[in-house]
Amino acid sequence: MMVLLPSLTLQKRKVKRMYKTDCKKIARFALKNPDNLARVTTFVLTTIQASLSSTHSQMLDIDNNGASSKYLWGNKRDGFLYMQEHKRVIFAAIKEAVKTNDAVAAIDVLTNVPNLGIVKAAFVAQMVGLDVSCIDSHNCDRLGLSRSALKFPKGVKRDTKLKKIADYVEFTRTTGGAEYWWNTWCEYVAGNRANKALDTAQKVSKFHVQAVMVGA
């Protein structure tokens, strides 16, 4: 059963229009071909338990060393290899999901990639232009959410998985949607201890593009 998420009323304020420029730029890139989508997925793998500011150098190392990169530790390597092997099938599924505006279908497919749970799969889906958001550890803190509330239980059944994904998508939409969460996350982490050089929300947002497309 889906863990009930707390309701949240976030104060609406003017947010910079970074999503419409940077996230949309990544979406256009990702949807061009399977290799680009695989690259966006690799970028998301580099964000797991790592700062955004570290992802640029991680991507360069992965470009140079492939699956042998020191940054593809644990299940990240499995995720990288799986995506490389299945990128054409996944790309076709994501293109169809975007065409039909089906964020649930996109996340369902992407969670087959090792190390992509519902949250990080949603991050990929967000960056291909679907209206869903990455409720990562920072956003969980903002919401007062337990991390476990957003994870699949072990041995989750198919119907339960789809219901949990659908509930997650709806939750991200009713609390602001893809654009709101992108812009406010960038504002929230700007200049923090892990991202000191990215001291404005605009720099944080643009850095996603730079990290994804470095060497591409």
Q: How many CA atoms within 13 Å lie on the side-chain side of 108?
A: 18
Going by pLDDT thresholds of 50, 70 and 90, the confidence category of residue 15 is low
Work out the burial of residue 83: count CB atoms within 10 Å of its CB; fewer than 13 is exposed, 13-18 middle, 19 or more buried: buried
What is the tens place of the pLDDT at every residue in 144-155? 887 777 888 778
Q: What is the mean pLDDT of residues 91-112?
A: 98
Going by pLDDT thresholds of 50, 70 and 90, the confidence category of residue 9 is very low
pLDDT of residue 1: 32
Distances (CA, A) of 61 to 54, 82, 145, 198, 208: 11, 19, 34, 21, 16
What is the tens place of the pLDDT at every residue in 167-195? 999 999 999 999 999 999 999 999 998 89
Please state, rounded to an integer, the average pLDDT across all residues of the chain.
Answer: 90
Q: Residue 63: is its pLDDT beyond 80?
A: yes
pLDDT of residue 141: 83
- Residue pair 102/109 in contact by the 8 Å Cβ criterion: no
Going by pLDDT thresholds of 50, 70 and 90, the confidence category of residue 11 is very low
Domain assignments of the chain as residue spans, ordered by start: 18-213
- Residue pair 55/120 in contact by the 8 Å Cβ criterion: no
Q: What is the mean pLDDT of residues 45-61?
A: 96
pLDDT of residue 154: 78
Size (the chain), residues: 216
Nearest Cα neighbor of 110 from 77, 133, 87, 129 is: 87
